[in-house]
Amino acid sequence: MAITLRGDVKVNRNVLLAAVAIIVVAIAGTAIYVMASPPKVKEIRLELQEFGYNGAKSGPTLTIKAGETYRLTLVNKGAIDHEFRLAKDKEAFLSDTKSAIAKLQSQGIKDVAGLEAASAFKESRRLTGIQAVKIGQEFDWDADVDVGETKTVELVINTPGTYWYVCGEPDGTFPLLHAHQGMVGQLVVQP
Ligand SMILES: [Cu+2]
């Protein structure tokens, strides 16, 4: 009887050791997998059209986390070119670009081609931006999305706050920009 008991205990201990070993390996494996996996890139899709996003006038509020990487898929569903650009403040973007364009018009600029060639116009939009966006391996102040085009942009914003994404294209709305026609959306960056 005593031998049988010892035998039972032995078997049970082996089973227990095997179970513990399996659990340890499973935990270690999970930890290694989690540590080795790159952080998951979050996806955001925006469709651009005259003059808003995702079929609406203006755009949806996008909420992201500071320091995290987001992949934005921009799809131009409209009949004219659009763009994605970041702005610190909507009102400042609208008024600064409006006065910059008015000034250029007073200097003789009469159309979209003239406006887009003017460095003062580029500068007026850049100055209201919070940062460039990453397109492929390049950084630019705006991501142009041609008619029918789909463009992917990578976005990481490290400073929490409330910002705006805007369309600074003047095509079809000159001397105003698409943003003046409501093509803006809020971007909330949470800590
Ligand atoms: Cu636009």
pLDDT digits (tens, 9 = 90+) for 42-94: 999 999 999 999 999 999 999 999 999 999 999 999 999 999 999 989 999 99
Sign, CA torsion 111/117/120/121: positive
Give yes or no: residues 135 and 122 share one domain. yes
Tell me, in angstroms, the distance from the centre of ligand 1 to residue 8's CA. 77
Return the CATH number at 127. 2.60.40.420
Tell me, in angstroms, the distance from the centre of ligand 1 to residue 69's CA. 24
Give yes or no: residues 59 and 20 share one domain. no
What per-residue confidence (pLDDT) applies to 50?
A: 97
Tell me, in angstroms, the distance from the centre of ligand 1 to residue 80's CA. 8
| Residue 176: pLDDT over 80 | yes
| Residue 102: pLDDT over 80 | yes
- Pick the residue with more confidence: 15 or 67? 67
Give yes or no: residues 148 and 177 share one domain. yes
Tell me, in angstroms, the distance from the centre of ligand 1 to residue 3's CA. 85
What per-residue confidence (pLDDT) applies to 30?
A: 63
Say what the pTM is. Answer: 0.76
> 161, 117, 165, 175: which is closest to 145 by C-alpha?
165
Domain count for the chain, please give it.
Answer: 2
**Cα(190)–Cα(167) distance, integer angstroms:** 23
- Pick the residue with more confidence: 104 or 23? 104
Give yes or no: residues 99 and 159 share one domain. yes
What per-residue confidence (pLDDT) applies to 42?
A: 93
Single-letter code of the amino acid located at 5:
L
Tell me, in angstroms, the distance from the centre of ligand 1 to residue 9's CA. 76
Give yes or no: residues 53 and 121 share one domain. yes
Give yes or no: residues 31 and 118 share one domain. no
Tell me, in angstroms, the distance from the centre of ligand 1 to residue 133's CA. 17
Tell me, in angstroms, the distance from the centre of ligand 1 to residue 19's CA. 61
Give yes or no: residues 105 and 150 share one domain. yes
| Residues around the ion ligand 1 (C-beta < 5 A) | 82, 167, 169, 178, 183
User: Contact 108/141 with Cβ under 8 angstroms?
Assistant: no
Domain boundaries, position 156 = 42-190
Tell me, in angstroms, the distance from the centre of ligand 1 to residue 146's CA. 10
**Cα(179)–Cα(95) distance, integer angstroms:** 11
| Residue 112: pLDDT over 90 | yes
Give yes or no: residues 117 and 32 share one domain. no
Residue 113 binned pLDDT confidence (cut-offs 50, 70, 90): very high
